[in-house]
Structure 1
Amino acid sequence: NLTPFKMSCIVEQNEISETNDSLSLKGKAYKIIDEHFGALKKIWDQLGMDEENISLRNKTVLTHLQNMLQEMVKEEEVYKESIIKKIEKKAKLYMEVCTELGREVETSEESWSILAVEKFFRDKYREVHEEKSKIMNAVRRDKEQEEDLATKLGEASILMSLSTIPSAEDIARLKSRIEYLRVELVKRTESFQEKRRDIKTFMDVLKTEPTTEFEKMVINEEIPSFPLSIDTMYKVEKIYDLYKDRVDRARTESRKIKIELATLMDRLELDDQQTSHIKRLLDACGVTSEDIKSLRTALEGLRAIKRKHASKLVDRLKSELDRTWEDLFFSDEQKKDFSPFADDPEVLLEMYEEELKKLEIFKEETKEALDKFRQHQELWRKLEDFEYKSHDTNRYTNRGGALLLEEKERKRLNREIPRLEREVARAVQIYDEDHQQTPLLVYGKRVVNYIENQRMRFEEEKEKEKQFRALMRNKQIEEEATLGSRPITPRSARKRPGVSTMSDSKKPRLGAAMSLKGSNSKLRKVDSSRAITDTQRSERCMTQSGASASSSLSCSYSDFKENLELKGRRDNNTRSSIASRRKSKSTPNLTRLAATSPRRPARAGALFLTPSQSTSMLLRSRLPSGRTPVTSKLSSKHPPSRRFLLS
């Protein structure tokens, strides 16, 4: 391809060469004419022609030369015109293709020769034509693919002219159409094959054969030869629905008959010989017409037996109805809504059976909500059991990690119960929205209200128990302030009875204790009104045990330490009040009395007593029979002198 600049240079060179060539051409022509005219003149002279003949012949030669040159000029003119026409044609085609391709049209220079212009447009047209051919071939392939897919789907192909290059929008629309048809073909093919497999399965279950030609085509052709049009897919869908409905109805009827057969066998309490045939039917029969016919025959036989034993079955149905009511959480008022009465046992039996069928349907509809409610009630009962066990003080001894397990279980309950309450409320709301006329009730109340009332009662009982424990604590404090506290044996002494924990230097001897018994002048008299009987002391111990249990009422392992600290502070306050009251009465110091008593040397085998034991023995000797002195609760925190104070 030559650039315009190169073309102009070539044109200038041609013009110069043409000028030079024309001068030399004329000289050559003159020379040739001169040579040939000389030869002719020589021949004419030899022939002896006169001047007239020679002149005539010269004119003939000139005329011939002129005609020949004119013909040549005409031929060149024709050639020139043909080149100009070619230029016009190529230029027109070139501009049309450029317009189709959306390209800018290039033009020739005015200084170019005709042949140069013709060559320029010829090359440009060939270039754009090749580009157009590539595009059109691709469009033709896409169009053929679109037509093939449309034929397989039974749809009309889009209209598109292939004589000219389509626009970019048309090409994009064609490609989008091809993609849609390809996806739709895959979808319809998969749907057809799936429906075909299901239809074959339904026919195998029903043990039937296709009845129409189209059904045979659908069953026998895995890859359909017919177009998968919308109408065809609709027909396949209808065949599928037809056989599916037949199978569903057959299965429903078969299942219904089998359930009734099993129910009647249980209610009639037939022996194995009577039920063996029916059990074989239940295991072997399917959903074919022959199987359903066999099941119906067996059902009619059991119904005949049921009519004979209608009165006995009524009693059994009553028990079954009671169990169903319990499963559905019916209240007494709801149970009273069903009050059948009939003289004929068969009619009464039918009424009970109808009621049980209704309850079974209701049970199925409320299964999710009632199952959630049942789980909630189980966890709630566990929570109440933990609350009840928290009042037992024995759980703090020999527990072996039970308190930790109890605390973990309590946390789990506190986490699971609110979650179940939300799930119950959601399930009940769904049921109530579907059955606006008959809301779901448990024990005659709405489920949410019942759970709220249950929680309110639980909180009220806890509050009453808390108030009762506070009252018992106050009563115990008043009794201890008035009568004194019950002596509590240290744990070490309980484990090893009769063994003193005091050192030998601090153990009072038996003689010293007996000397205290004889020193009536130095001991104050014990007021007989302060003594209590064994029965009263037992009552006080029971009250004190109850108060002690109520003092450790924390419901969880985390409150155990707090309750022990509270009990210790209460005991310290009680001891302080008793000590202050004793000081106000100027009670003699028994330690001093014991110290001033003569001490005898210890004998072999003598019994050594603690100060509290010796004081108790002394008081028992002073009190009437059946009376027992009350000593204060000993504590290792108090000095030895205070351990001998009388309460």
Structure 2
Amino acid sequence: MSARSHEEMQQELGKCLGTTLNRLQNIWDEIGILDEQRRERTDVVFLHLRNLLEEMVKEEESLKTNLLRNVETYGADMLKLSKELAVQPYEPPDGISILQLEKELRTKVDIMQKEKHNRLKTLKKLREQDQHVCDILCTTPYYIPSGTVPSEEELNSLREHIASLEEEREKRHTVFLNTKKEIAAILEALDQCPNTSFEKDIINEEEEAFLLSKENMAALKDLHQDLSQKKQDAQDLVEKLNEQLFWLWDRLVIPQEERSAFKEANKGIKPKVIQAIRDEIARCEQLKLQNIQRFVEGIRTELSNWWDKCFYSKEKREEFTAFNDDNFTEELLEQHDVELSKVRNYYEENKALLDRVHKWQEMWCELKVFEKKAADPNRFHNNRGGALLQEEKQRKKIEKQLPKVEQEVKTAIQQWETEHSKQFLVGGVEFVDYIEQQWEIHRLEKEREKLERHQRNAKVTEEEMIFGSKPATPSAKRRFLLTPSKTPNSKMRKLNDTTKTPRSTTLIGGTVFPSPAGLPPKSAGKTMSSKTPRRLRPTQQRMQRKVLGENTQQNVVGDQSNIFSHTTLSAGGGVRGIHNASTVSIGSTITYQDFANEVLYTDEKISSSPK
């Protein structure tokens, strides 16, 4: 309080006291109180005033004391709460009064008390959630020291922990539901009931009652795997039994109606179905023993097909001597079954490699088909829809792919031989030799076709030399439009035929005879000079015959085996056997490009030949 205010208060009090005393004096005057009594009464007034002022001072001092005590208490509470809440304690500003300090501390303490209460309340709620999820997952709850107020970081960590547990619970619950459905389906398929308490808990108990612990989830996974394996084993067994049963049905020629009825009545993989299939197999086995010959013959047919698939050589097939045994017994049937299983196993073990060889074989056959088509003179008359263009594209595609496929097969065979430490044989020889054999067989087929063609042309020439050439038959259209002319007799036709080349050779019965000397006939001086010889139509057969007449001595004279003496695989003038082709070098064989050029040459030759 300032000095001025203090003086004003004193003046006010003095004025107030003076006024009060004047009033008292007036009252006393009116009453007639004596001076002695007035002094006594005035002393009493002063005594009351002093007591009142003293009491007021004491009350203010008591207020000050209370304020100081509150400041000390609130200060201590604030420090304690600041430590519990992990916040910085409040620092009051300098020069603040006791009353303001007490108010500030009281307000801060109230706020911190509420913060502490909220944190503890939140902690309690989060702990309940954490405990619930942990009970389901059988895990340890998040640790927060008891008796302490959690910090905001701890509460946030607890929230994240609960969220992760909830996510894991949902994930495990979904896995549990899906696995439960699959297990129930497998048990139904296997016609099996839950046996263990764990299986019963899964199938029969409520979904929420199942504890999603790691141990239970691992046991659930193991159970599912075991049942799945049992189902797969049952499926494999049924498939194997059905394969055996179908094979027996085919051999026994069981009617389709009987087969369909049995299949319809025995679906699935239940034990009763498996037993029914086994009973049917046993019945068919009895019928098989009653029809051994039919079974053996059927197995032989199937065995031949498997031999072809595996590219077995003739020698390899002949090793199975029981194939030609006609004494049909159970022992013979068993031998055929063993051989068939052996070949099947060989095919399954090397299926990928054999499929590559089959692919090469198919493409090779297609390439030979294209060559035969190229040698067909009539293919140009059937070119509807651009068939020849499509054929040419397909042929070029095969020519491009065949060497690649061949190289892939060679690489795969090399890898197989490295892994198995033995040779992989195709047709009893290595694959490279097998390819050379195919080229040699193809070359021999072409030589044979060429020889047959030459023999046909020679036969036609022989017949024309004896009986005369046969005129071409006119088409039906020309037959109606033209007037038929008389055919000269064979004698005149022989005399008028001056188109023969002197000293030309004629093939008769496989022997070459020279034609008579180039002298004109006796009647040439009479009539032949004035007549123009009849010119025959230059058919393709006559063109071929002309070429034949010029080259007959080179191609036909002598032993027919000399035809192959100038081939790319010659060795001392003879043709080696097919099984000796393995000694021929790859460089001596024809290439795919030569093969393609030969096809193109044949196309050009046929297209340029007279229609």
TM-score (norm. length: structure 2): 0.60
- Aligned partner of 1:284 in structure 2 is 265
Select between 110-119 and 376-385 the one with higher mean Cα deviation: 110-119
Q: Which letter maps to 2:312? A: F
- Aligned partner of 2:64 in structure 1 is 77
Alpha-carbon distance in 2 for matches of 1:135, 1:430: 72
Alpha-carbon distance in 1 for matches of 2:602, 2:294: 63
Q: Is 1:404 aligned to 2:404, yes or no?
A: no
- Aligned partner of 1:502 in structure 2 is none
Aligned length: 477
Shift of 1:452: 7.0
- Aligned partner of 1:157 in structure 2 is 141
Shift of 1:382: 1.0
Alpha-carbon distance in 1 for matches of 2:202, 2:112: 52
Contact 1:328–1:370, Cα closer than 8 Å, also in 2: yes
- Aligned partner of 1:475 in structure 2 is none
Q: Which letter maps to 1:320? A: E
Alpha-carbon distance in 1 for matches of 2:100, 2:166: 51
Contact 2:71–2:101, Cα closer than 8 Å, also in 1: no
Report SS of the residue matched to 1:26: helix
Shift of 1:323: 1.9
- Aligned partner of 1:217 in structure 2 is 201
- Aligned partner of 2:359 in structure 1 is 375
Q: Which residue of 239, 246, 257 maps to 2:223? A: 239
Contact 1:369–1:427, Cα closer than 8 Å, also in 2: yes
Alpha-carbon distance in 1 for matches of 2:254, 2:426: 39
Report SS of the residue matched to 2:208: coil
- Aligned partner of 2:55 in structure 1 is 68
Alpha-carbon distance in 2 for matches of 1:422, 1:120: 95
- Aligned partner of 1:293 in structure 2 is 275
Shift of 1:81: 0.4
Q: Is 1:355 aligned to 2:339, yes or no?
A: yes
- Aligned partner of 1:207 in structure 2 is 191
Shift of 1:391: 5.7
Contact 2:375–2:602, Cα closer than 8 Å, also in 1: no
Alpha-carbon distance in 1 for matches of 2:126, 2:551: 97
- Aligned partner of 1:474 in structure 2 is none
**Pairwise CA RMSD:** 5.4
Indicate how the Cα distance of structure 1 residues 93 and 223 shifts in structure 2: closer, same or farther if over 3 A, else same. Answer: same
Select between 40-49 and 85-94 the one with higher mean Cα deviation: 40-49
- Aligned partner of 2:591 in structure 1 is none
Shift of 1:408: 1.1
Contact 1:554–1:560, Cα closer than 8 Å, also in 2: no
Question: Deviations along 1:394-443, whole A, 9 cap, x unmatched?
Answer: 6667756444222211233245546656876798799889x746786533
Contact 2:183–2:227, Cα closer than 8 Å, also in 1: yes
After TM superposition, list the pairs within 5 Å mapping 1:569-580 onto structure 2.
Answer: none
Alpha-carbon distance in 1 for matches of 2:112, 2:417: 75
Q: Is 1:114 aligned to 2:98, yes or no?
A: yes
Indicate how the Cα distance of structure 1 residues 556 and 137 shifts in structure 2: closer, same or farther if over 3 A, else same. Answer: farther
Alpha-carbon distance in 1 for matches of 2:253, 2:441: 53
- Aligned partner of 1:46 in structure 2 is 33
Q: Is 1:413 aligned to 2:384, yes or no?
A: no
- Aligned partner of 1:542 in structure 2 is 547
Indicate how the Cα distance of structure 1 residues 420 and 293 shifts in structure 2: closer, same or farther if over 3 A, else same. Answer: same
Contact 2:353–2:412, Cα closer than 8 Å, also in 1: yes
Shift of 1:152: 2.9
Indicate how the Cα distance of structure 1 residues 62 and 159 shifts in structure 2: closer, same or farther if over 3 A, else same. Answer: same
- Aligned partner of 1:442 in structure 2 is 426
Indicate how the Cα distance of structure 1 residues 67 and 118 shifts in structure 2: closer, same or farther if over 3 A, else same. Answer: closer
Q: Which letter maps to 1:233? A: M
Q: Which letter maps to 1:327? A: K
Structure 2 unaligned blocks of 5 or more:
451-477, 479-497, 508-514, 516-541, 553-593
Question: Deviations along 1:537-572, whole A, 9 cap, x unmatched?
Answer: 97872259999xxxxx994799689979xx9xxxxx
Report SS of the residue matched to 1:322: helix
Q: Which letter maps to 1:77? A: K
Q: Which residue of 379, 384, 396 maps to 2:368? A: 384
- Aligned partner of 1:634 in structure 2 is none
Question: Deviations along 1:362-384, whole A, 9 cap, x unmatched?
Answer: 43444444344423321221123
Q: Which residue of 306, 310, 315 maps to 1:328? A: 310
Alpha-carbon distance in 2 for matches of 1:133, 1:439: 87
Indicate how the Cα distance of structure 1 residues 387 and 189 shifts in structure 2: closer, same or farther if over 3 A, else same. Answer: same
Alpha-carbon distance in 1 for matches of 2:338, 2:602: 61
Contact 1:152–1:227, Cα closer than 8 Å, also in 2: yes
TM-score (norm. length: structure 1): 0.57
Contact 1:340–1:348, Cα closer than 8 Å, also in 2: yes
Q: Which residue of 249, 262, 275 maps to 2:233? A: 249
Shift of 1:165: 4.9
Question: Deviations along 1:495-548, whole A, 9 cap, x unmatched?
Answer: x9xxxxxxxxxxxxxxxxxxxxxxxxxxxxx9x99675788897872259999x
Alpha-carbon distance in 2 for matches of 1:124, 1:444: 102
Report SS of the residue matched to 1:157: coil
Equivalent pairs: percent with the same residue? 23
Q: Which letter maps to 1:321? A: L
Q: Which residue of 152, 170, 195 maps to 1:186? A: 170
Question: Deviations along 1:454-505, whole A, 9 cap, x unmatched?
Answer: 89x599979x99xx9xxxxxxxxxxxxxxxxxxxxxxxxxxx9xxxxxxxxx
